[in-house]
Structure 1
Amino acid sequence: MLIDQKNFSSSNVIFSIRTASEEDASHLSELRLKIDGETENLDREKGEAYIDEAGFRKIIEEDKLSGNSLFLVAETNGKLVAFSRCAGNGLKRTYHQTEFGIGVLREYWGYGIGKNMLNESIQWADANGIQKLTLKVLETNSKAIALYKKFDFEVEGILRKDKFLSDGDYYNTVLMGRFNIHD
């Protein structure tokens, strides 16, 4: 699916959020690799599950044709600084839901990029009949958990000792969901 580009400003940082295009593929490959090396909040260590330019081109093309997937990028000064994806699937029993994931370069944390990408994703989901957004977040990522709760995500469960981090300890993963289903 596609959304129109929107522009934002925060603390002298001007950025735009738009649907990813095939031309972004090589930059996305580099961006994901860098983000994975900057934080332990994500599932991967730097270089794991690497997606090359061709892989990103395929994902972007498939998401554009899908009714329940959305791939967004954030750009400032002609440079990609973040991406988010709502990854749906074609199964009838779960077509009503999509999983949200996001990555923002560390130097751009705190400017509202993630918040605005989440908001754009929620607006897209609501406008396109997506009934449930899901996500996974590391228990220690309290800022992200607080943000998700502000956007009406609820804790649905805990995956105990799900992640093994560089400090040698195991951490829980929090499963969260936002429902657009009216009982």
Structure 2
Amino acid sequence: MIINSREYRKNGMSYTIRSAHPKDARQLSELRLQIDGESEHLDREPGEAFIDGAGFEEIIGTDTESRRNLFLVAEVNKRIVGFSRCEGNSLKRFAHKVEFGVGVKRDYWGYGIGKHLLQESVSWADATGIHKMTLNVLESNENAIALYTKLGFEQEGILKHDKILSDGKYHNTIIMARFNL
């Protein structure tokens, strides 16, 4: 699905949140690889489950055509610095929900980019009749959990010992959801 682009300004930085376009594919491939190496809050190690430009073009095409998917990018000075994706399911029993994921380049943390990507996704979900948005977040990612809670998400469960991080220890993942019933 496509949404209208929107301009934001915070802490002296201006950026645009807009739907992803096929021309963004190469930048998204490079950005995802970089973001995966900047934080252990995401699921992948750098280079794991790599998606090249052609792969992103395919995802963007599918998401643009699907009423149940939304792929957004955050752009500063014509460079993509973050992205989010809501992925739905074509099975009737799951057609009421989407799963949300987000990534923002570390240099751009603190400007509200992740928050605005999520707010745009929530607005889209509400407008299109999505009744449930879900996401997974590491239990130690307190800033993200606080943001998700502020925007109406609640904890549904905990996946214990779900991930092994660089410290060699197991970490819990919290499953959160926002309902629009």
Whole-Å separation in 2 of the counterparts to 1:167 and 1:160: 16
Whole-Å separation in 2 of the counterparts to 1:89 and 1:152: 22
Whole-Å separation in 1 of the counterparts to 2:78 and 2:178: 33
Q: Which amino acid aligns with 2:157?
A: G
Structure 2 match to 1:102: 102
Whole-Å separation in 1 of the counterparts to 2:163 and 2:111: 28
Structure 2 match to 1:74: 74
Whole-Å separation in 1 of the counterparts to 2:13 and 2:89: 35
Whole-Å separation in 1 of the counterparts to 2:61 and 2:89: 14
Structure 2 match to 1:132: 132
1:67 positional shift: 1.0
Whole-Å separation in 1 of the counterparts to 2:78 and 2:155: 37
Structure 2 match to 1:43: 43
Whole-Å separation in 2 of the counterparts to 1:60 and 1:91: 20
When normalised by structure 2's length, the TM-score is 0.99
Deviation string, structure 1 residues 72-93 (Cα, Å, up to 9, x no partner):
0000011100000001121110
1:34 positional shift: 0.2
Whole-Å separation in 2 of the counterparts to 1:109 and 1:58: 28
Whole-Å separation in 1 of the counterparts to 2:110 and 2:163: 25
Q: Secondary structure at the match of 1:51?
A: coil
Q: Which amino acid aligns with 1:157?
A: G
Aligned length: 181
Deviation string, structure 1 residues 55-79 (Cα, Å, up to 9, x no partner):
1001000001111110000000111
Q: Which amino acid aligns with 1:6?
A: R
Whole-Å separation in 2 of the counterparts to 1:41 and 1:150: 19
Structure 1 match to 2:14: 14
Q: Which amino acid aligns with 1:137?
A: V
Q: Secondary structure at the match of 2:37?
A: helix
1:36 positional shift: 0.1
Structure 2 match to 1:167: 167
The ranges of structure 1 where at least 4 consecutive aligned residues each deviate by more than 4 angstroms after the TM superposition are none
Whole-Å separation in 2 of the counterparts to 1:110 and 1:135: 21
Gaps of 5+ in 1: none
1:173 positional shift: 0.3
Q: Secondary structure at the match of 1:38?
A: coil
1:43 positional shift: 0.3
Whole-Å separation in 2 of the counterparts to 1:89 and 1:51: 21
Whole-Å separation in 1 of the counterparts to 2:86 and 2:114: 13
Whole-Å separation in 2 of the counterparts to 1:79 and 1:67: 27
Structure 1 match to 2:116: 116
Deviation string, structure 1 residues 156-183 (Cα, Å, up to 9, x no partner):
00000001000111000000000001xx
Q: Which amino acid aligns with 2:133?
A: L
Deviation string, structure 1 residues 10-55 (Cα, Å, up to 9, x no partner):
1111000000000000000000000000000000000000000111
How large is the RMSD of aligned CA atoms in angstroms?
Answer: 0.4
Q: Secondary structure at the match of 2:167?
A: coil
Gaps of 5+ in 2: none
